[in-house]
Amino acid sequence: MMCRAAEESENEPETDATDAVFTSLLEDSAEELYEHAPCGYLSTLMDGTIAKINTTLLDWLGLSRPQVVGRMRFTDLLTVGGKLYHETHFAPLLQMKGDVSGIALDLKAAEGRLPVLVTSKVKTTEDGQPLLIRTTVFDARDRRAYETELLRRRREAEEARRRAEADRERLQEALAVLQQNLLPPQLPTIAGMEGQAHYHTASPDLLGGDFYDLFPLDAGRWAFFLGDVCGKGPQAAAVTSLTRYTLRAAALHDPDPTTVLTTLNTVLHDRYSSGDTRYCTAIFGVLEPVAGHVDVHMASGGHPSALIHRGDGTADFLPTPGGMLIGVLPQVQFTAAHTRLHPGDTLLLYTDGLTEARTGPQRELYGEDALRAFVASHPPTGPKALIKALTALLTGFGDGLDDDTALLALGVPAVPEVCDRVPGGGTR
């Protein structure tokens, strides 16, 4: 520090001398600086007539001073496209604002089109009257080439995005059609019963693996099933399709629920035994409406237990414990169950999208107990009302519901007239 201070004071007279040289150089070159600046300079009258122009710009244009000064307007130096832009944008802006900067225009230069960046400022008199326009012109060849490249890339990117969006739309349409084919378009009407289903698709891009169906077996009996294939996407959908049609065909051959599921197990196991194991869980059942009630025979292969909402408002699971996953092992054991639906009772089948939804700040599993409590908290008004309440529940989960969910409710409508009700019907 001290050292430097000493040096500085020592060199002082010499610094002065250098400054003086610089100053004189600068003063000498004011004109030189204007004429040969690395950019073009020009001054025009308010109507654009060129009053003063520097040598740099004249050289770019390949014109002599007498050809230009007093004879040409600024717009005469521009290409026609540039002139149009000048008249529609540049000039109005300059007139309104008093200055415009960094506008891209093209000059009619000696060597063809010269891309430039133009900045103009209006010089005014002391009382604010516009006097003349001062303009600087920068060579923008490199920058323009870069911009052209950017624009080209942007156009390419926009085109790619458009194509991608169109592809995605087509794909979603195809997926929606496929998905619809995995489910019945609508539930059939069963005399003396009511049925309602709901399907929630977690993602429009992925085919869901949940399925359900309800169809007639013969004049008096109906079959239903609901299940969940492991995984999502096209592979899962292929399994779903195979499962659905196998269950339907097996049911027509022999509707005994455990037999049907065993057939499905054999088919899936044979089809997917080599390498890519695919399995599912499902409940299959047969409905037999008899004199005011419906007998239900069903079997489960590893699927969450069905819930029965009784006409008296209670809700209980119909246990089907120990049923094995369908398609994993060559020999399997399925659990059968039986129940009877009386007027006012509703049987609910669902997939684990519902019970495994995440809720609350801790993102806890919704769970089967909560489901039972939810159903019990609603009056037993039949499948339509129950599915409506559950659909609202699913919507309420928001992004906590991240899996496909299938719901199928089957019930016997309550008998409205009190006098028609069989006393003690619920316990017969």
Partner 1 sequence: MDIRRRNNVTVTGRADGPVVLLAHGFGCDQNMWRLVLPALAEACRVVLFDYVGSGRADPSAWDEKRYSSLEGYALDAAEVCEELDLREVTFVGHSVSAMVGVLAAAKAPQRLSRLVMVAPSPRYIDDVGYRGGFSADDIDELLESLESNYLGWSAAMAPVIMGNADRPELGQELTASFCATDPDMARVFARTTFLSDSREDLKTVTLPTLVLECAHDAIAPREVGAYVHAAIPGSRLVTLQATGHCPQLSAPQATAGAILDFLGTTQ
Q: Which residues bind partner 1 (CB under 8 A)?
A: 46-48, 73, 75, 79-89, 91-93, 95-97, 102-106, 115, 144, 147-148, 150-151
Q: How far is the CB of 82 from partner 1 (least distance, A)?
A: 6
Of 130 and 425, CB closest to partner 1: 130
Q: How far is the CB of 140 from partner 1 (least distance, A)?
A: 9
Q: How far is the CB of 168 from partner 1 (least distance, A)?
A: 22
Q: How far is the CB of 58 from partner 1 (least distance, A)?
A: 22
Of 106 and 228, CB closest to partner 1: 106
Of 157 and 171, CB closest to partner 1: 157
* CA dist., res. 281 & res. 301, Å (int): 5
User: Whose structure tokens read 């050809």?
Assistant: 67
CB 227 within 8 A of CB 282: yes
CB 106 within 8 A of CB 97: no
Of 86 and 244, CB closest to partner 1: 86
User: Whose structure tokens read 């049609």?
Assistant: 245
Of 74 and 212, CB closest to partner 1: 74
Of 139 and 403, CB closest to partner 1: 139
Q: How far is the CB of 248 from partner 1 (least distance, A)?
A: 50
Q: How far is the CB of 136 from partner 1 (least distance, A)?
A: 16
* CA dist., res. 271 & res. 280, Å (int): 13
Of 18 and 95, CB closest to partner 1: 95
CB 369 within 8 A of CB 246: no
Of 83 and 278, CB closest to partner 1: 83
User: Whose structure tokens read 């016997």?
Assistant: 412
CB 309 within 8 A of CB 317: no
Residue type at position 420: D
Q: How far is the CB of 346 from partner 1 (least distance, A)?
A: 47
Q: How far is the CB of 134 from partner 1 (least distance, A)?
A: 18
Tokens of 53: 């122009």
Find all residues with CB under 8 Å of 208, minimum gap 6, and list them: 179, 182, 199, 201, 202, 232, 236, 237, 240, 404
* CA dist., res. 195 & res. 216, Å (int): 13
Of 96 and 177, CB closest to partner 1: 96
C-alpha closest to that of 133 among 146, 141, 122, 145 = 122
Of 84 and 290, CB closest to partner 1: 84
Find all residues with CB under 8 Å of 179, minimum gap 6, and list them: 201, 207, 208, 237
Of 79 and 259, CB closest to partner 1: 79
Q: How far is the CB of 94 from partner 1 (least distance, A)?
A: 9
Q: How far is the CB of 46 from partner 1 (least distance, A)?
A: 8
Q: How far is the CB of 163 from partner 1 (least distance, A)?
A: 18
Question: Among positive and negative, which fits the CA dihedral 45, 51, 54, 55?
Answer: positive
